[in-house]
Structure 1
Amino acid sequence: MTQGGKRRPDDLSWPEALTEPVQALRAEPSLLVALSGGLDSIVLLHTVLHCLSGTQVRLRAVHINHQLQANAGDTEAFCRQLCQQLGVELVVERVAVSATDGPAAGLEAGARAARYEVFERLLASGGTLLMAHHQDDQAETVLFRLVRGSGFGGLAGIPARRRLGKGWLVRPFLAVPRCELKQWAETSGLAWVDDPSNQDQRFDRNFLRHAVMPLLKGRWPNLLVRIGRTSEGCREGAELAQTLAQLRFDQLSGDAGELSLDGFKSLSLAEQKNLLRWWIAQSGFAVPERGDWAQVVSELVNAGADREPELAGAGFAIRRFQSALYLVDERTPPRGGISTLVPEQPLRWGGYRITLVRCAGADTQIPRIQVGARQGGERLRAHPEGVSKPLKKWLQEKAVPPWERARLPLMSLDGELIGVGLIWLSPRFQGALPESGWRILVEREFD
């Protein structure tokens, strides 16, 4: 632990580089400061407390104890004591970190995922989370993504402000070098805790910080400014690419959110890759990091009519069906078994939400409507006076993609189909005055 004085923020001398970006947040209704106990977050907490003096902003700090270091308990105790001294409400969350990509990379990714899950939960009612990333962090991030082969979006670096759950994430120190934070903290006599894992060069960022950055700074003293200019240029390029992708999507998309294959083929390869990446990110999924985008695009476009090409990612897949491309949400697996609808109680079924609603004048007897998946052999009478036909053939005629057919909830009453997902519903159970006196509402969970 680095020891210093115990003066309150009002007793300190404040450089404009620290206070100016925080002063802009005085109109926020509530602020949450991520407090690791390290130098950067300690400076941020003191600065925020100083700048909020005389305002009605609700200020809290949150400490995430990853339980990975031997001094994790001491660091938590330090944060508790500091916040008690400063009169700041503190939220402490202990998380379990799982490593999935190896001993070093996996711990980094697991720790990040765990703390951001907590952040989003704490922002469930809105608000703004402040993090103490600084100019050195920005440079390390850009270099890290460069060696990983990132494009414009990755080289844009860390955004100063972005959405996080139902709130916002803001980094007010992003233009401040760490040396200035450290100099001010030492001059002001602040105390903080050094994380021993920050010295472990098995972690990629630590290797860049301790082995690479000092060499680069020695050769180019204004390295941080130069990398900042690069990231700003890449950010502008990424914004232009997103604007273009939005325009192309609006031109080529259909009612179901699918992309016209013929229209997609007419774009250049660069536009095709840009549109796919934008589509994935806009749908809330992580864009796969891969170097074979050209091959993937070629397969989606040029594979034979009897093939089923796809671009698979975490929780989604882009698939081709007939003359269109579809982005398929696979976060909810198909559901099995049979469920019975209970009036006014929504049934969540494989990505759908189904509700049985009693209408005025309905019979007191509740219809026993069952919901299940396709088993094979079902028949459907789409029109009261029409003939029944195999459901499989009817779905083909309706051009329902094969992957959707297995996910469709089938609603039946006394062994007769009365509903097929969002595609068809018997007149007896829809409209302002359904014949049966009961209405069935079907919605998609992710719409």
Structure 2
Amino acid sequence: MRQPDIDLPSRLLEALSPWRTAQTWRIGFSGGLDSTVLLHLLATLAKTRPLPRLAALHVHHGLQAVADGWPAHCQAVCDELGVPLQVIRVSVQLGASLERAARDARYLAFAGVTQLHDVLLTAQHREDQAETLLFRLLRGAGVRGLAAMPAQREVGGGYLVRPLLDVSRAELERYAHKHGLRWIEDPSNADQQFSRNFLRQQTFPGLTERWPQAVTSMVRSAAHLREAQELLDELAEVDLDDALAHSRHVWLGMPSLALDALIDLSPARQRNALRHWLAPLTRLPDSDHWAGWDDLRDAAHDARPKWRLAEGELHRADEHLWWLSGSWLRQPLADIAWNCPSRPLELPDNGELLVVGEAPAGPLQVRYRQGGEVLHLPDRGHRDLKRLLNESGVPWFVRGRLPLLYRGEELLAVANLPGLDGGALGDWHLHWQPPSSDQGLS
């Protein structure tokens, strides 16, 4: 059996070999044992190997008085190793889980500083991976959750990489003692009110006493589940291929799926495809909340169903599923005077409006549909707007925020709809750029 602590530097370099062309390696540096060893390893290797530029990042949560001294400790370590340090102070939004709130704040800070082609390195090790698997198993996670922490994933403009997942905490401790490293002991790590601390201090000692290879076996299981999730993702891509075909309303710029491409799949494949599609958009629902998908899918043809999720809503209209979030969930401000139609008009909570071509004479005003509107078309006479929208197949959730251009009480144009957008009245068109529905959660 190999001596793992002896070849730790070469194992680290092997794990990081795909990332050697990055511009910068940023090390998430808490000052604890794990990140101290990672930082020391990289700083030492950089003296003899051509590595990307190193930079350390310390996130200060401000949750404990003792933590106020940690940035100074981290600065001293970085000065000794010749690695620049950036300290980011974050505000933790307290909720049901302090652990999760602190983690969310930390990774939001990581995403904010990780630039294009940068790699952010964090020091989670083998025991962390096993704890993650067991913790998620106890919470009833599915295959994606039980795959535990991936070795790499996208963050900000670059990638987050965990190069020590195959290294045990004991190996890190041996390295630290061998090189005389100093690190911070977080007093909150002794508090068993936190679930991971309870698992670490109460559960794992008993497991490893009875089954010495428990941690290694659990990490192996997580790898098997990760492979299974990759196969499920591939299946989802196949199932979504037809469903991602654009509708006739591509100008909405919204994530959407063709419903008929999904309903012929088995319920399990429907959920798998939707999980894959929703993952970059919102936190996924637990098993109890997937009934919302059944209700949305099975609603009557003329119904207006929606499924509320953590970061938005899934609507069904025009035989498509539409993802709405952000400004799309807020009622836009109506009755806006447009005094300079030669320039784009910013619509509060509703994107941007402009006239392409020579704008009609004013004074002009932008309104939204209230009901009963009539549009005069030169070749068709006065037409009820509701019927015109039905003919155009505009999804129902768009109709109340589709910009209408008025001159006095005369409705001149409806944005973006060919034949209704002003072209019939002159050499101009009313163009609307809707608000983005992209939350950027990937």
TM norm. shorter chain > 0.5 = yes
Report matched runs for 1:241-320 at 5 Å. 241-256=232-247, 258-282=256-280, 284-293=281-290, 295-305=291-301, 307-320=303-316
| CA distance in structure 1 between the partners assigned to 2:308 and 2:51 by the alignment | 48
| CA distance in structure 2 between the partners assigned to 1:111 and 1:390 by the alignment | 54
Deviation at 1:428, TM superposition (A): 5.2
Contact 2:31 2:184 in 1 (8 A): yes
Taking a change above 3 Å as real, the CA distance of residues 74 and 273 of structure 1, as seen in their structure-2 partners, is: same
Deviation at 1:78, TM superposition (A): 0.5
Taking a change above 3 Å as real, the CA distance of residues 89 and 316 of structure 1, as seen in their structure-2 partners, is: same
Taking a change above 3 Å as real, the CA distance of residues 280 and 51 of structure 1, as seen in their structure-2 partners, is: same
| CA distance in structure 2 between the partners assigned to 1:377 and 1:385 by the alignment | 21
| CA distance in structure 1 between the partners assigned to 2:241 and 2:115 by the alignment | 31
Which residue does 2:109 correspond to in 1?
118
Report matched runs for 1:430-441 at 5 Å. 435-436=427-428, 440=431
Contact 1:134 1:177 in 2 (8 A): yes
Structure 1: give runs of 5+ residues left out of the alignment: 1-11
Deviation at 1:147, TM superposition (A): 1.1
| CA distance in structure 2 between the partners assigned to 1:190 and 1:233 by the alignment | 35
Deviation at 1:441, TM superposition (A): 5.8
Report matched runs for 1:37-436 at 5 Å. 37-53=31-47, 55=50, 57-101=52-96, 105=97, 107-256=98-247, 258-282=256-280, 284-293=281-290, 295-305=291-301, 307-321=303-317, 323-330=319-326, 332=328, 333-339=330-336, 340=338, 343-344=342-343, 347=346, 349-355=348-354, 369-381=364-376, 383-424=377-418, 435-436=427-428
| CA distance in structure 2 between the partners assigned to 1:110 and 1:154 by the alignment | 18
Contact 2:57 2:86 in 1 (8 A): yes
| CA distance in structure 2 between the partners assigned to 1:368 and 1:377 by the alignment | 22
Deviation at 1:200, TM superposition (A): 1.2
Deviation at 1:414, TM superposition (A): 4.8
Choose from 4, 12, 22 the match for 1:28: 22
Deviation string for 1:357-395 (max 9, x for gaps)? 6x6xx68x99665434333333334x4422232323322
| CA distance in structure 2 between the partners assigned to 1:197 and 1:83 by the alignment | 24
Which residue does 2:252 correspond to in 1?
none
33-42 or 201-210: bigger deviation? 201-210
SS at match of 1:291: helix
Deviation at 1:439, TM superposition (A): 7.3
| CA distance in structure 2 between the partners assigned to 1:62 and 1:370 by the alignment | 51
| CA distance in structure 1 between the partners assigned to 2:373 and 2:57 by the alignment | 55
Deviation at 1:143, TM superposition (A): 1.0
Deviation at 1:269, TM superposition (A): 1.4
Deviation at 1:278, TM superposition (A): 1.5
| CA distance in structure 2 between the partners assigned to 1:255 and 1:65 by the alignment | 45
| CA distance in structure 2 between the partners assigned to 1:59 and 1:68 by the alignment | 28
SS at match of 1:144: helix
Amino acid at match of 1:265: I
Taking a change above 3 Å as real, the CA distance of residues 427 and 345 of structure 1, as seen in their structure-2 partners, is: closer
Deviation at 1:29, TM superposition (A): 0.7
SS at match of 1:385: coil
| CA distance in structure 1 between the partners assigned to 2:308 and 2:198 by the alignment | 32
Aligned residue pairs total: 421
Amino acid at match of 1:390: D
| CA distance in structure 2 between the partners assigned to 1:427 and 1:299 by the alignment | 36
Amino acid at match of 2:317: F
| CA distance in structure 2 between the partners assigned to 1:444 and 1:331 by the alignment | 6
Deviation at 1:258, TM superposition (A): 4.1
Deviation string for 1:242-276 (max 9, x for gaps)? 11112112223442364444443321111111122
Deviation at 1:444, TM superposition (A): 4.6
| CA distance in structure 2 between the partners assigned to 1:160 and 1:346 by the alignment | 46
Amino acid at match of 2:368: A
Taking a change above 3 Å as real, the CA distance of residues 91 and 373 of structure 1, as seen in their structure-2 partners, is: farther
| CA distance in structure 2 between the partners assigned to 1:392 and 1:124 by the alignment | 48
RMSD: 3.0
Contact 1:353 1:445 in 2 (8 A): no
Deviation string for 1:129-185 (max 9, x for gaps)? 111111111111111111111111111111111111211111111111111111111
Contact 2:323 2:437 in 1 (8 A): no
| CA distance in structure 2 between the partners assigned to 1:122 and 1:330 by the alignment | 24
Contact 2:113 2:156 in 1 (8 A): no
Taking a change above 3 Å as real, the CA distance of residues 443 and 243 of structure 1, as seen in their structure-2 partners, is: same
| CA distance in structure 2 between the partners assigned to 1:387 and 1:24 by the alignment | 66
TM-score (norm: length of structure 1): 0.84
SS at match of 1:376: coil
Which residue does 1:4 correspond to in 2?
none
Taking a change above 3 Å as real, the CA distance of residues 237 and 186 of structure 1, as seen in their structure-2 partners, is: same
SS at match of 2:381: coil
Taking a change above 3 Å as real, the CA distance of residues 435 and 78 of structure 1, as seen in their structure-2 partners, is: same
TM-score (norm: length of structure 2): 0.85
295-304 or 219-228: bigger deviation? 295-304
Query: Percent of aligned positions with the same letter in both sequences?
Result: 36
Taking a change above 3 Å as real, the CA distance of residues 27 and 444 of structure 1, as seen in their structure-2 partners, is: same
Deviation at 1:301, TM superposition (A): 3.1
